[in-house]
Amino acid sequence: MYRNMRHSFFLGSIGISLVLVILVGSILLSTHRADAVGSNPYDFALAWQDGPTPTPNAAATMTPLLQSDLKILSGNVQRPNGITFYDGYLYTSCSGDFTVYRLNATTGDTTTYIAGVQNTHTLYVEEGTTAGPVVWVADFQRNALSYIQTEPRALENVKQGLGSPWGLAPAEDGSFYVTQFATDDVVNIKRDGTLNVVATGFRNPTGIVVDGEYIYVGNNGSARRAIEYFELGGVPVGEQDLKPLVSGLQNVTTMVVGPDNWLYFAYSLGTRGIVGRVNPDTCREKGGCINADVEIVLWSELSAPLAGLTIAPDMRLFVHTMFGSEIYWTQLPENLNPRTLPS
């Protein structure tokens, strides 16, 4: 019996030693890999993505901004969710008290704009025909496309009964393209409330951008993990017609076209909120970009998902998380290899 106990203890010791050796080896390997890519977040992201480590993006024109580059805009919004810049102000929807606020984009001075908007991930502001701007909102919780006129201040519903609208993008004819998170499609809604389905086959689509004859959509819930696109036309498109713009992205939320005409988008890398950008012309020409082609603009320590993203004409970037109260901003370098649009 004593001999068996000694034998079991000996084998147990060997097992524990092997576990310790493997653990120490893994730590040393991770440290070596991190050291190999240096302190550049872009290199770190490349080293840890799926598949072989690709060649860094030769088109990159800036070093990614970090959490230390972010400043807090001191406003008074409990839980911002969705944000846009217009004429020196930020407009944001608070999902905590169901109110739209307007903030001075420099000082943070906050004005209550209107109550009744429950939860909007995307806002669009345009100049009104009378006094002041008109704010359009896709209300995810009320399932409605609505607008807020300045004078008299009022919330008007254009279309109700939608399927959890998330993204909102204006079209040239004055209508709007809207992603429906719950029904996995994109619809076009005219200002009289007329609705037409233009694309199906998504999985929980989020952000949307109209870029000339193309529409880009964050296909958030798809196993393809991609921003996908389709061409505008008279016939609704299905899943087989969707083309990859950028593949290998996690939790794409907001997408905007910046003043430099590049496509900026918020996504996740693990639990970290990231903002990247691509030239969509380049991605379309090569049959789709991969995550290694994304130029990382902001490598933050904010918890993903980043729900709000907007860029002012002077290249100030504003961002916030879905569940936090702070709105952050940072200054992007100007003239970042601006994309030339066709005349």
CA distance 219 to 238: 13
pTM of the model: 0.84
Q: Average pLDDT, stretch 135-146?
A: 96
Of the chain, the percentage scoring pLDDT greater than 70 comes to 81
Q: Among 9-13, 65-69, 183-187, which is the least confidently predicted range?
A: 9-13
Does the pLDDT value for residue 23 go beyond 80? no
Q: DSSP string spanning 89-144?
A: EEEEEETTTTEEEEEETTT--EEEEEE----EEEEEEEE-SSSSEEEEEEETTTTE
Question: Residue 278: left if φ>0, alpha if ψ -120 to 50, beta else—which one?
Answer: beta
Residue 308 per-residue DSSP state? E
Higher-confidence residue: 129 or 182? 182
Does the pLDDT value for residue 234 go beyond 80? no
Per-chain mean pLDDT for the chain: 84
For 288-306, the pLDDT digits (tens) are 999 999 999 999 999 998 9
Does the pLDDT value for residue 18 go beyond 50? no
Does the pLDDT value for residue 138 go beyond 80? yes
Higher-confidence residue: 146 or 152? 146
CA distance 256 to 240: 25
CA distance 228 to 215: 8
Q: Which two tokens stand for residue 47?
A: 């080293």
Asked if 194 and 158 count as a contact pair (C-beta separation under 8 A), the reply is no
User: How high is the pLDDT of residue 30?
Assistant: 39
For 79-129, the pLDDT digits (tens) are 998 999 999 999 999 988 999 999 999 999 999 999 999 999 999 999 987
Asked if 138 and 168 count as a contact pair (C-beta separation under 8 A), the reply is yes
Q: DSSP string spanning 249-303?
A: -BS---EEE-TTS-EEEEEEETTEEEEEEE-HHHHHHTT-B-GGG-EEEEEEEEE
Domain boundaries, the chain: 1-37, 52-331
Asked if 82 and 121 count as a contact pair (C-beta separation under 8 A), the reply is yes
CA distance 144 to 71: 34
- For residue 292, give the nearest of 60, 29, 37 by alpha carbon: 60
Q: Which CATH class is domain 52-331?
A: mainly beta
